[in-house]
Amino acid sequence: MGSNPLSFSRPPQKLVFQGLLFDMDGTLIDSTAAVEQHWHSIGKELGVDPKVILQTSHGRRTIDVLKLISPEKANWEYVKHMESLIPQLYGADAVEIPGARNLLDSLDAHHVPWAIVTSGTSPLVAGWLGVLKLPTPKHLVVAEDVVKGKPDPTCYAMGRGKLGLEVGADVLVLEDSPAGIQAGKAAGCKVLGVVTSHTAEQIVAAGPDWIVRDLRSLKLVVGSEKGVELEISDALDV
């Protein structure tokens, strides 16, 4: 893109999907401040520079980060307990991504199939949804459900299956991290990237189908238990 200014100006586009799969942190909620405080605390506990952890932690499972920095702590009992504390201790530092609540409410109102597919553990997901009082999906894929985390596509393939959809179905993945975008594409899904936690250049390089600033660019047009027609507006013109 060189030195040209970014232009989120693509004309509105209407598309039909049979189901939606949402990443959580950075896509539905912004818990950056909370997670940074959390990793500073854990870094001190483990004797590791928090800045080193934060350079590689976003979009990755905590257990995978711990395998690198403190292998003796890389077990699910420790990880789930540690992550359960984040919403309890730092809940006031998290906010919803603009447009997230309206989009999820509209999906639920029209019985559209959707799920959360996240690198967080089940206690972390439950904690954040409770603190922010966001709609709770019928289906979840969490960190402990898969052997390999993103960018491995297993999580999104599993999410598609939980919606009762097969390979080749029109599924939209919504993601904020390059690793998550790559996972969604590798799973055979269409991917919408949001520029909330990474630069637009980093999101472009990951190769999503559409790039928007946040979820205010998505509007439900028609929805049912068979799927949804969405309008995507103000996407990045690349």
Query: Which residues are known to be catalytic?
Result: 23, 25
Looking at residue 1, its amino acid is M
Residue with tokens 């504390």: 85
- 53: tokens are 């952890």
Residue 22 burial by Cβ neighbours in a 10 Å radius (0-12, 13-18, 19+): buried
Closest to 95 (Cα-Cα) out of 49, 32, 138: 32
- 172: tokens are 């939209």
Pairing of strands 139-141, 114-117: parallel
